[in-house]
Amino acid sequence: MTAQLLDGKAAAAAILAEVAAGVAALLAAGGRRPHLAAVLVGDDPASQTYVRMKRRNAEEVGIESSDHRLPASATTDEVKELVRGLNAESRVSAILVQMPLPPQVDAGAVIECVDPPKDVDGFHPYNAGRLALGDPAVLPCTPAGILELLDRNQIPVDGRRAVVVGRSNIVGKPLALLLLNRHATVTVCHSHTRDLPALCREAEILVAAVGKTFYIGPDWVRPGATVIDVGVNRLDGRLVGDVDPAVAQVAGWLTPNPGGVGPMTRAMLVRNTLLAAERRS
Ligand code: GUN
């Protein structure tokens, strides 16, 4: 068997077209043009690339964007002051603080500083709490993009056995909650999990979000399973995922990587920006 590909590029292009139409409709109704403010602290090349791609996607669909940079030596108070200024700016509908922040910056304190309606990543405790209660306000972009990719390919979630490998606040935890809210039976695995391969083999939907090159091998995958590869790892100068390419011989559906989850994350970011602007209008 060779897995069918869950084409994130194609789905993201469709979402970007929908958002472009939404922006045009908002403007035609007298609303303000959505504006995404991106905060980048330090000079990590990968983060710079991500922010550039996010801003490019925003501008492609008629969303204004602005860049707000601080040096790698910035303090927590300096980052919070920048965020507070963006909270107060009425033209800014959405704020993105690119993670990770430098180690001396208290990321939790910065996230709590973002005005929850402008928290386009859904990271603020208010938005994370709403998600945990099953009444989400802003959905985190990567988990939302994964659900969207499943839905657009008519892959059912309700009642299915889902295993999420990784428990980060950005992907693993919110994704587990989203799947649970959609009535999957969810197991979250992490570095202390015993007999991880056996648990993975139970999954009808298996999500790898651990950041380890080709960690999930074909013998960890139930034949016909849907496998989502969130990993972004460097190998010999190219980007690769957490899933061994040989998994394609076992899985029923598989995200290409690159070209799977990444474009969906950016598409959901611009969609969240439009939704934030619509709520303000
Ligand atoms: N770093 C890695 N993924 C993300 C994301 O989805 N949002 C932000 N702000 N930073 C990230």
Helix, strand or coil, per DSSP, at residue 46: helix
Q: Of all protein residues, whose CA lies closest to atom 2 belonging to ligand 1? A: 99
236, HSE (Cβ side, Cα atoms, 13 Å): 0
Asked if residue 54 and residue 151 are part of one domain, the reply reads no
Q: Would you say residue 125 lies in a domain?
A: no
Do 163 and 255 lie in one domain? The reply is: yes
Q: Closest residue (by CA) to atom 11 of ligand 1? A: 99
If asked whether residues 152 and 251 sit together in one domain, one would say yes
- CATH number for 94: 3.40.50.10860
Q: Structural domain of residue 49, as residue ranges?
A: 31-116
Q: What's the CA gap between 11 and 154, in Å, rounded?
A: 12
Helix runs in 44-188, H state only: 45-60, 76-88, 107-113, 125-132, 141-152, 172-181
For residue 129, is it within any domain?
Answer: no
Q: Which residue has the tokens 């996010």?
A: 54
Question: Per-residue pLDDT for the chain (281 aa), expressed as one digit of tens each?
Answer: 799 999 999 999 999 999 999 999 999 999 999 999 999 999 999 999 999 999 999 999 999 999 999 999 999 999 999 999 999 999 999 999 999 999 999 999 999 999 999 999 999 999 999 999 999 999 999 999 999 999 999 999 999 999 999 999 999 999 999 999 999 999 999 999 999 999 999 999 999 999 999 999 999 999 999 999 999 999 999 999 999 999 999 999 999 999 999 999 999 999 999 999 999 98
For residues 153 and 257, membership in a common domain is answered with yes
Cα 98 to ligand 1 centre (Å): 5
Q: Whose CA is nearest to atom 9 of ligand 1?
A: 98
Answer yes or no: is 279 within a domain: no
Whole-model pTM over 0.95: yes
The residue whose CA is least distant from atom 1 of ligand 1 is 99
Distance from the CA of 140 to the center of ligand 1, in angstroms? 9
- For residues 161 and 234, state if they share a domain: yes
- For 76-108, the DSSP string reads HHHHHHHHHHHHH-TT--EEEEPSPPPTTS-HH
Q: Are 146 and 221 in a shared domain?
A: yes
Print burial letters for 90-119: b (CB count within 10 Å at least 16), e (below 16): eebbbbbbbbebbeebbbeebbbbbbbbbb
98 lines ligand 1 (CB under 6 A): yes
CA-closest candidate to residue 84, choices 73, 97, 74, 72:
97
- Contacts of 101 by beta carbon, 8 Å cutoff, 6+ apart: 41, 42, 79, 107, 110
Q: Is 36 in the pocket of ligand 1 (CB under 6 A)?
A: no
pLDDT, position 281: 85
Residues 150 and 246 in one domain: yes
Neighbours of 147 (CB within 10 A): 19
Kind of pairing between the strands at 226-229 and 205-208: parallel
Rounded to 5 degrees, φ, ψ at 230 are -90, -15
- Ligand 1 pocket: which of 141, 146, 233, 268 to mutate (most atoms within 8 A of CB): 141
Residue type, 82: L
232-267 b/e (C-beta count within 10 Å ≥ 16 → b)? bbeeeeeebbbbbeebbebbbbbbbbbbbbbbbbbb
Q: Does residue 96's CB lie within 6 angstroms of at least one atom of ligand 1?
A: yes
Instruction: State how many domains the chain has.
Output: 2
d(CA 167, CA 189): 7
Q: What is the pLDDT of residue 6?
A: 98
Q: Which among 81, 116, 151 is the end of a domain?
A: 116
User: Ligand 1 centroid to 166 CA: how many Å?
Assistant: 15
Q: Residue 161 and residue 263: Cα distance in Å, rounded?
A: 25
Report the CATH number at residue 179.
3.40.50.720
Residue 277 lies in a domain: no
What type of residue sits at position 201? R
